[in-house]
Amino acid sequence: MARLNKSFDKALWVFHVNSGSCNGCDIEIVAALTPRYDVERFGIKLVGSPRHADVMLITGPVTKKLSEKVKRVYDQMADPKAVIVVGTCGCTGGTFYESYTLDGPVDNVIPVDVYVPGCAARPEAIIQGVVKAWEKLEKLRGDSV
């Protein structure tokens, strides 16, 4: 992990995965990209391929049909990487606390670094989540040096 250099703080590329969410958080993620919030200011960029990504933003309570795919996308991401769960249902199951087609919450499927609760999570909260992910990466850097 010694390879973690400072540029990580300033250039986080994000890949968005919807694991069966209601869309509420997903539109808020897009809203975070647009002029009002403009996360590109902080070097955060949404990318189209998991191979390019540093951070996975995952929404939704993980349906059975998608849990394999979510794992695969996680594996496709190059190290070092972080996972941020956006939305209450991904954090704990939330309103879908009981079901027959869910494999979630997300941390049951892949390791999670940051939880952003909210139904739906506000763009400000999502940005804060990404900032927390930086802190985590910074901590990793501290440990390894």
| Lookup: tokens for 124 | 């400000």
- Per CB under 8 A, the list member of 14, 23, 71, 140 interacting with another protein is 23
DSSP assignment of 19-76 equals SS--SHHHHHHHHHHSTTT-GGGGT-EE-SSGGG-SEEEEES--BHHHHHHHHHHHHH
CB 45 within 8 A of CB 82: no
**Which 32-91 residues touch another protein, going by CB under 8 A?**
34-36, 38, 40-43, 47-49, 51-52, 54, 60-61, 63-66, 69-70, 72-73, 76, 78-80, 89
**Which 103-122 residues touch another protein, going by CB under 8 A?**
103-105, 107-108, 119-120, 122
- Per CB under 8 A, the list member of 14, 83, 98, 115 interacting with another protein is 98
